[in-house]
Amino acid sequence: MQHLRSNTIGSAYQRYERRPVSCEIDGEIFTGNYWIAGMILVVSTATGGASRQLANSEPEYLAKILLTNLVQANRAGKPAAAQEP
User: How sure is the predictor about 1, in pLDDT bands with cuts at 50, 70 and 90?
Assistant: very low
Residue-wise pLDDT for 6-43, tens only, equals 444 444 556 789 999 999 999 999 999 999 998 999 99
Residue-wise pLDDT for 47-70, tens only, equals 899 999 998 889 999 999 999 999
To the nearest 10°, report the CA torsion of 59, 16, 33, 55. Answer: 20
What's the pTM value of the predicted model, to 2 decimals?
0.73
d(Cα 72, Cα 20) in Å, to the nearest integer? 19
Q: Please tell me the predicted confidence (pLDDT) of residue 15.
A: 72
Q: Please tell me the predicted confidence (pLDDT) of residue 66.
A: 96
